[in-house]
Amino acid sequence: MDSGAMWTRMKAHRWTYGLSILATLSIGILIGTVISSEVKGKEGQGKSDATPLTMPSSSSAGNGFSQQLSNAFAQVAKQLEPSVVNINTDSTIKNPHRRRGQDDDDNDGMDDFFNHFFGGPGGQNPFQDNGPIRERALGSGVIVDPKGYIVTNRHVVEKADRIRVRFEDDPPGVQHDAKVIGTDSETDLAVIKVDVDRALPAARMGNSDNMQVGDWVLAVGSPFGLSETVTAGIVSAKGRDIVPGRQFQTFIQTDAAINPGNSGGPLVNMNGEVIGINTAILSETNAYAGVGFALPSKTVVDVYNQLTGPEHRVSRGSIGIMFDQVENPAIARVYGTGSGITVSTVVAGSPADQAGLKVGDTITAVDGKKVLKGDELVSDIASRKPGSKVTLTFIRNGKQQEATVTIADRAKLFAARLGEDRDSGDDNTPKPSKFGVTVRKVTPEMADRLDMPAGKGVIVQEVKPGSFAEDVNLGRGDIILEINKQPVNSEEDFTRIEASMKSGQDVVFLVRPRGSSRQDGTIFDAGTLP
């Protein structure tokens, strides 16, 4: 890779960029109109000797290879587009340079009230310190099951507060809430699901191993927010390792144009089958430069089946060793063997350590089957279930030895390096609220300050961006008095009523808005729970 080049995951497109593109196109159209008028003014007089242009009839279309290829592209695009979706995400990021209340239109002096009851500047005040800002982004995905299961990239949906999906046949403005079924950091894949009352058009999976360099492929997605975009190219290479150490990310390289917003969309063959998920590009500008990468369908299918399984996670085996990713003949010569994988690190306490393997041992076979490259060893061990046993043949000081090793869970063994601690399993982790709102009981002191009866209502402490509460216009400082005619006088009342609500049910909040007096009365905030 050139020193000036960079590979990047196709980060979801920001709307501001798309607007600047539209503005540029509008200017180009205006200039074209002016030029056209000038030409007409100069050449419009006198008799023209131009021969009128004619359109050939549809029946006279050419039958050559070019026309056949064009028809094939059109058929594949028509087949795949209904299965490709836009994925819109809302995320919350902290802004240490902005304090809530500085730019809010509703800054009505109530901030002093919140500082008094929920902590002042420098404390743990959720309303005043480092107020979060919203970020919206867009990616792509492909429906692989009529029940609503969608494959996309993990980086499209990670850290999202809300995920919404738009299908090809949806009217403008209509979107469907989606939930994450599972994600896999090592392959950057994710499975999300939309609950709908109809069967969705699902794409067919193809076998990426059958693809050859030079085969035609199409990429489908929403680059820069432009939905239902289809681009054509070929398989430029296979088996690309573009990130050192990412042993489960071996990509198909293509020159089909893919850009930010294409993330998670399918790469398909000329049979209309998905043979890859578009994931990354190689570019100095973060835009298409002729080199894109898609995760092969062989990997996608394996990860999908595990993420949709009972545990909703990918289980990979490991023995707890490391080795040089790039083969070096000098290592093999020094350690006295012509082939195999020479161990550079043995993780303390790992299965390899417990079985007696040491740095400098060269592994030559697994259960009697020869292994020549590190990728072969990783693939074999990763495919085995944690807890199973394997016999390793290795060379130490020129002598062949064997050791029986118990396979461990890779995610747990390398939790720190992978940036994920899956050992925690903390059942006390707070579950996300259905309403997306945090409340506190109105204390007697608060009630006196707010001029309302003591022991009535709960005050909205925080509203999660993109949540149902935000959709129905609940805001911090609002006093919730009832939910669906049921009095809410404590956090326990709120939690109990919230837990009883189900998706699709109408929810009506009786609210006294922030800053209003008893004489101002109450209002309803209402909607249908997603």
Burial of 415 (0-12, 13-18, 19+ CB in 10 A): middle
Q: If you count them, how many residues does the chain have?
A: 530
* pLDDT above 80: residue 512: yes
Task: Please give the average per-residue pLDDT across 212-237, as a whole number.
Answer: 91
Give the pLDDT band of residue 428 (cuts 50, 70, 90): very low
- Reduced to 3 states (helix: H, G, I; strand: E, B; else coil), residue 323 is coil
* pLDDT above 90: residue 274: yes
Amino acid 254: pLDDT: 94
Per-residue pLDDT of 62-101, as tens digits, reads: 566 677 777 888 999 999 999 999 999 988 765 443 333 3
* pLDDT above 70: residue 386: yes
Least confident of 19-23, 176-180, 301-305, 386-390: 19-23
Annotated catalytic residue, options 83, 91, 140, 263 = 263
Task: Please give the average per-residue pLDDT across 109-135, as a whole number.
Answer: 49
Annotated catalytic residue, options 90, 188, 409, 525 = 188
- Is there a contact between 152 and 141 (Cβ–Cβ < 8 Å)? yes
Amino acid 270: pLDDT: 94
Within its chain, how far is the Cα of 225 from the centroid?
15
* pLDDT above 70: residue 265: yes
Architecture of domain 437-528: Roll (2.30)
**pTM of the model as a whole:** 0.62
For the chain, what is the mean pLDDT? 78
* pLDDT above 80: residue 418: no
Amino acid 332: pLDDT: 67
**Does 188 qualify as catalytic in the annotation?**
yes
**Cα separation of 409 and 386, whole Å?**
5
**Does 155 qualify as catalytic in the annotation?**
yes
Do domains 318-410 and 437-528 share one topology? The answer is: yes
Q: What CATH homologous superfamily does 318-410 map to?
A: PDZ domain (2.30.42.10)
Give the pLDDT band of residue 250 (cuts 50, 70, 90): confident
Task: Please give the average per-residue pLDDT across 173-187, as a whole number.
Answer: 91
For residue 330, the surrounding DSSP H or E stretch is helix 329-334
* pLDDT above 90: residue 12: no
Amino acid 244: pLDDT: 58
Task: Please give the average per-residue pLDDT across 371-380, as a whole number.
Answer: 84
* pLDDT above 60: residue 120: no
More confidently predicted of 102 and 398: 398
Amino acid 14: pLDDT: 44
The residue type found at 197 is D
**Cα separation of 277 and 140, whole Å?**
10
Architecture of domain 1-23+65-95+131-313: Beta Barrel (2.40)
Determine what percent of the chain is predicted with pLDDT higher than 70: 75
Annotated catalytic residue, options 155, 255, 350, 467 = 155
Residue among 505, 84, 499 nearest 267 (CA): 84
Mode of pairing for the β-strands spanning 7-9 and 84-94: unpaired
Task: Please give the average per-residue pLDDT across 458-476, as a whole number.
Answer: 87
Amino acid 277: pLDDT: 95
Least confident of 49-58, 212-221, 520-529: 49-58
Please give the DSSP secondary-structure letter assigned to residue 202: P
* pLDDT above 60: residue 119: no
Task: Please give the average per-residue pLDDT across 458-468, as a whole number.
Answer: 85
* pLDDT above 60: residue 50: yes
Task: Please give the average per-residue pLDDT across 384-390, as a whole number.
Answer: 91
Spell out the domain ranges in the chain: 1-23+65-95+131-313, 318-410, 437-528
Determine what percent of the chain is predicted with pLDDT higher than 90: 33
Mode of pairing for the β-strands spanning 523-528 and 486-487: unpaired
Task: Please give the average per-residue pLDDT across 172-194, as a whole number.
Answer: 91
Amino acid 15: pLDDT: 42
- Reduced to 3 states (helix: H, G, I; strand: E, B; else coil), residue 203 is coil
More confidently predicted of 114 and 295: 295
Per-residue pLDDT of 304-359, as tens digits, reads: 999 999 889 888 888 988 887 666 777 766 776 667 888 888 888 889 999 999 98
- Is there a contact between 344 and 360 (Cβ–Cβ < 8 Å)? no
Amino acid 365: pLDDT: 92
**Does 263 qualify as catalytic in the annotation?**
yes
Mode of pairing for the β-strands spanning 266-268 and 317-318: unpaired
